[in-house]
Amino acid sequence: MEIVKLNVNGCVRETPVEHNRTLLRALREGLGLTGTKCGCETGDCGACMVIIDGEAVRSCLVRAVNLEGKEITTIEGVGDGEHLSPIQEAFIEAGAVQCGFCIPGMIMSAKALLDKNPSPNEEEIRGAIDHNLCRCTGYENIVKAILLAAEKMRKERQNG
Amino acid sequence: MGRDLNVVGKAKPISDAALKVTGRKIYVDDMVLPGMLYARLLLSDCPHGKIKSIDTTEAMKLPGVKAIATCFNTPKVKYNSAMRFIENKLPDTEMIFSDTVRFVGDRVAAVAAESPDIAKKAVSLIKVEYEKLPVITDPEEAAKPDAYPIHDGGNIVGDVRAKAGDSEKAFEDCDYVFEDRYTTQAVHHAAIEPHVALADWGADGKLTVWSPCQNTFGFRVIMGRIFDLPYNKIRMISPAIGGAFGGKLEVTVEPVAAILSKMTGRPVKLTCSRKDCILSTRVRHPSVSYVKTGFMKDGTIKAVDFKIYLNTGAYASSAMNVSGAMSHKVFKAYKIKDMSFECIPVYTNTPVASAMRGFGSPQQFFPVSSMINEIANILGMDPSELFLKNLADPYEKACCDGESFGNFRLKDCVIKGRELIGWDEAVKEMRESADKKSRFRIGVGVACGSHGTSMFPFMPDVTGITMKMNEDGTIVFTTGTSDMGNGSVTTWCMMISEVLGIPLDNISYIKTDTDAAMSDLVAYASRGTYTSGHAALKTAEIMRDKIADIAVKLLEVDKEELRFADNRVYFKDKSVDMTEIAVYAGETLQEDLSCSYMFHSTEGPMSSGAHFAKVSVDTETGEVKLLDYAAVHDVGKVVNPMGVSGQLEGGISMGLGYALCKA
């Protein structure tokens, strides 16, 4: 076991991990951050998506010990705790939420995209969620949600 | 209701969406109880064998391992994981752990340990010896009289037959008779949330199990039978479901978590790996069907014989339920009066089949629709015209039982769908690509299906709702029906809001807790909106009546002309708000405003849909690309348009995977 310092949602926390412990397990079991979901642990479903230094990463595919010094954002870091972010509001309004299990991962992929590309087209959106599986919605409303989120974020920037 | 609707009919996001988009919705795998252990399964890698020995010595020595359950130290009670209620008679072929494994993925043992990693390591240290037995994977082979019996009594689970008219005689009068064989493959539900159960066998002998199950009451019946516990000593709770589609309708890992909790005296959480889910939980029944159709030159279909082998896998589970459902659904879309149906569910040494979205419908609508497309080809007719010629009209009577189809608008769906996809143009493109012998050929197809709602008249289709008004006029209700993301609870909230004139935000609920809720049959058969919606409606009407009794006292008016809106009760220009009503009830009358209602269905209304697809097929590689798709459904009164379109889009996506990704 070793103690690793992880910067998660702007807060540096220590947690003991084995050398091969994934970030997913460290988040859920070590830090009690259960918003990031475990769907497969083989990198296939994307339910475990987080953002590391601005990139969307499947947390089941990376080791916690390799992430000291990196900035990790999870679903718990989206919104300010009291208010929903535009992305979260958009997912609700567009009817993109059914069972909800894929949603944290989807939102992280959406956020990683929109933070870099504020006006994506549908093809770019579908590319950004290519590693996220959803079994409920058929993806239609998820794509609409991300387009709506982009619009909301543009308006927010315009209004200062 | 005979008036304008303010809530029903308007798009509403699912009621717990804010929890889900913030990661704060608690699913069972997110739960941690004090002292909780983690469990892991050992699954068979032998497709069929008698267990000679299970050596757990090395595994038990591993620090942190607290118990290992096998067939040698667990109840030998046989059950059927699809059982719904006490008198539900189904073949009992399953055990928590059997001394015989019947498919790769069958349960052999389970370890409870201080951490998931220790449990996983311990599983790898368990040594199992099998006496191998013959393996059969093909259902037609398994159905032969000399096939090795996978269960006592042979491999035929049942033989479900139904008929209408006399198809044998009708074939004689047909211009043509066409026969073909169709197969459908197994599909895994692949809900993004893996199967999981958290069991706490308390020191007081009360067993509480949290499971993302669709059927808390049915699960309680089964757990009661396995562990010989009265129902007040079993509490099944389904706090959230991360997708199910029928795959969480049957008991899978719940008894395993429960027995480990009993053995250790601690809560035990068993989360399946994705591989364990795919192998050892449930799949859709694969099938082999033989369809014989007699038709006339003008395309009128006169007779159909439909025989289907349903591969139920290693255990009976839903075999009789699905085959029973198919035996009436098959008759309910067409005008055809002379039909016969036979379904033979068969055991094989393959994963266990179960309920899955449609519950036997794809396995019969696919062959019938395919056959109609083929017949259209033979006759040189447009397949959509052939459907229109043979689909039932509104209020026609079903040939099998004389029940009315109701306002059945499937033909209208075909006409609308044709228009949406640009059918004539698409057919022209198909013919042109065939004439040119292009590498990439355009293909077009049309298929139709119908679906009943509720389990009437096959099971007691019941559900109850209790409702109370808090002291401030807000409402809480309880329900036993699950919401697996399909938004069923949201539709009930909308109905209650409509009836009581109370805002949606003022309505909360407790769901799927067998200690809190009245009985519910189960969340399947598309009964959430219809059956539970009726219960919600009736309960709200009873509550409205109680509120009205108080309003007339406070307003000193007649009951008949009261209007409920904006969280108030109006009589012309006088009104009183719900808080005043509740305060009067509690402080003056010294009573809670509460009520309950148990609804049982007395009919099973039908819905239907017509789907059109345009594809491109690479004739060199066989790759199929979907170019365009149109689906039109007759769904009756829409309560929540966002919910309906979400379900249809998701269902189409799932169906496309089923069609285009053959295992």
User: What contacts A101, CB < 8 A, 6 or more positions away?
Assistant: A37, A39, A47, B27, B191, B192, B193, B242, B243, B485
Nearest to B37 by CA among B255, B229, B245, B197: B197
Tell me: ipTM over 0.95: yes
Across the interface, of B194, B243, B645, the residue whose CB is closest to A135 is B243
- Nearest CB partner across the interface for B20, out of A78, A95, A97: A97
Residue B627 to residue B242: CA distance in whole angstroms: 30
Q: Are strands B462-469 and B593-600 parallel, antiparallel or unpaired?
A: antiparallel
Pick from B13, B24, B240: CB nearest A35: B24
Sign of CA dihedral B486, B488, B489, B491: positive
Task: Say whether B650 and A135 touch across the interface (CB within 8 A).
Answer: yes
pLDDT at B458: 80
A interface with B, Cβ–Cβ < 8 A, is 18, 28-29, 32, 34-42, 44-45, 47, 74-76, 78-79, 84, 88, 91-93, 95, 97-104, 107, 133-141
| Cβ-Cβ contacts under 8 Å for B199 (sequence gap 6 or more) | B207, B208, B209, B210, B254, B257, B258, B260, B261, B267, B268, B270
What is d(CA B380, CA B390) in angstroms, rounded to the nearest whole number? 16
Percentage of residues of chain B with pLDDT beyond 90:
89
Question: Angle between the B488-500 and B533-555 helix axes, to the nearest 10 degrees?
Answer: 20
Is residue B112 within a helix (H) or strand (E), and if so which, with residue range? Answer: strand B107-113
Dist. CA B444–CA B433, nearest whole Å: 12
> In DSSP terms, which residues pair with B347 in a beta bridge?
B313
Mean local confidence (pLDDT), B333-348: 96
In the prediction, which pLDDT does A117 show?
A: 98
* Interchain CB distance below 8 Å, B27 and A101: yes
Contact of B241 with chain A, judged by CB distance below 8 Å, is answered with yes
Structure tokens at B506: 């003022």
- Per-residue confidence (pLDDT) for residue B2, from 0 to 100: 57
Asked if residue B525 has pLDDT above 80, the reply is: no
- Interchain contact, A37 vs B192, CB within 8 Å: yes
For residue B405, give both structure tokens: 């189809």
The alpha carbon of residue B656 is apart from the nearest alpha carbon of chain A, in Å, by 10
Q: For residue A53, is pLDDT > 70?
A: yes
For B:180-219, CB contacts with A below 8 A are 189-194
A-B Cβ pairs (cutoff 8 Å, strict) = 131
pLDDT tens for B419-461 read 999 999 999 999 999 999 999 999 999 999 999 888 887 888 8
The residue in chain A having the minimum alpha-carbon distance to the alpha carbon of residue B117 is A21
Tens of pLDDT, residue by residue over B211-234, are: 999 999 999 999 999 999 999 999
Contacts of A107 in chain B (CB under 8 A): 21
H helix runs in B422-532, sequence order: 423-435, 488-500
Are B23 and A99 inside 8 Å of each other by CB?
no
Instruction: Test A36 with B23 for CB contact under 8 angstroms.
Output: yes
Phi-psi region of B529 (alpha: psi -120 to 50; beta: other; left: phi over 0): alpha
Report whether pLDDT(B304) > 70: yes
Query: pLDDT tens for residues B76-113?
Result: 999 999 999 999 999 999 999 999 999 999 999 999 99
**For chain A, what is the mean pLDDT?**
97
Please write the tens of the pLDDT for every residue from B134-148.
999 999 999 999 999
Instruction: Report the amino acid identity of residue B514.
Output: T
Q: Is the pLDDT of residue B322 over 80?
A: yes
Residue in A91, A95, A99 nearest the CB of B21: A91
For residue B219, the model assigns a pLDDT of: 97
Bridge-partner residues for B612, per DSSP?
Answer: B446, B630
What is the CA angle A105-B116-B218, rounded to 5?
75
* Inter-chain touch B646–A136, beta carbons under 8 Å: yes
Question: Confidence class of residue B662 from pLDDT cuts 50, 70 and 90?
Answer: low
Residue A106 pLDDT grade (very low, low, confident, very high; cuts 50, 70, 90):
very high
Contact of B250 with B214, CB cutoff 8 Å: no
Name which of B13, B190, B241 is nearest A97 (Cβ-Cβ): B13
* Predicted confidence (pLDDT) per residue in B228-248, tens digit: 999 999 999 999 999 999 999
User: Rounded mean pLDDT of B509-525?
Assistant: 88
The residue-averaged pLDDT of B356-370 equals 94
Contact A84 B642 (CB under 8 A): no
pLDDT value at residue A66: 97
Q: Is B653 helix (H, G, I), strand (E, B) or coil?
A: helix
Quick one: DSSP state of residue A29? Answer: I
Q: Is the pLDDT score of B575 beyond 90?
A: yes
Q: How far is A37 from chain B (nearest CA, A)?
A: 8
Distance from CA of B521 to the nearest CA of A (A): 21
How many Cβ atoms sit within 10 Å of the Cβ of residue A122?
11
The pLDDT assigned to B457 comes to 78
Mapped onto helix, strand or coil, the DSSP state of residue A119 is coil
Please tell me the number of Cα atoms within 13 Å of B469 on its side-chain side.
31
Whole-angstrom Cα distance, residue B339 to residue B302?
9
Which has the minimum average pLDDT: A87-91, B79-83, B331-335, B618-622? B331-335
- Measure the CA–CA gap between A128 and A124, rounded to whole angstroms: 6
Could you please report the per-residue DSSP string of A45-93?
S-TTEEEETTEEEEGGGSBGGG-TT-EEE-GGGSS-SSS--HHHHHHHH
Asked if residue B14 lies in contact with residue A97, where contact means CB atoms within 8 angstroms, the answer is: yes
So what's the pLDDT on residue B462?
A: 87
Burial label for B534, CB within 10 Å (0-12, 13-18, 19+), is buried
Put simply, the answer to whether B192 touches A133 (Cβ < 8 Å) is yes
**B13 in reach of chain A (CB within 8 A):** yes
Q: Which residue has the tokens 């990139």?
A: A55
Q: pLDDT tens digits for B191-210? A: 999 999 999 999 999 999 99
User: How near does any CA of chain B get to the CA of A146, in Å?
Assistant: 13
Contact A136 B642 (CB under 8 A): no
Q: Which residues of B touch A133 (CB under 8 A)?
A: 192
Best interface-test mutation with B: which of A1, A41, A97 has the largest number of B CBs within 10 A?
Answer: A97
The answer to whether B240 faces chain A, any CB pair under 8 Å, is yes
- Count of CB atoms situated within 10 Å of the CB of A32: 11
Q: Which pLDDT value is given to residue B376?
A: 95
Average pLDDT over residues B491-515: 96
d(CA B22, CA B25): 8
Contacting residues for B414 by C-beta, under 8 A, at least 6 apart: B384, B387, B388, B391, B446, B448, B610, B632
Neighbours of B560 (CB within 10 A): 8
The structure tokens listed for A85 are: 């972010």
| Mean per-residue pLDDT over chain B, rounded | 95
Residue B342: pLDDT band with limits 50, 70, 90: very high
Q: How far, in Å, CA of B172 to CA of B298, rounded? A: 16
Verify cis geometry, omega within 30 degrees of 0, for the bond prior to B351: no
Q: For residue range A117-136, list pLDDT tens digits in order.
A: 999 999 999 999 999 999 99
Tens of pLDDT along B536-561?
999 999 999 999 999 999 998 877 78
> Is residue B489 very low, low, confident or very high in pLDDT (cuts 50, 70, 90)?
very high
Write the CA distances from B39 to A25, B253, B448, integer angstroms: 16, 10, 45
d(CA A48, CA A79): 18
**Partners of A11 in the beta sheet?**
A8
> Of the ranges A78-82, B25-29, B117-121, B253-257, which one carries the lowest mean pLDDT score?
A78-82
Confidence category of residue B384, pLDDT binned at 50, 70, 90: very high
pTM as predicted: 0.96
In angstroms, the CA B310 to CA B33 distance is 42
Mean pLDDT for B465-472 is: 97
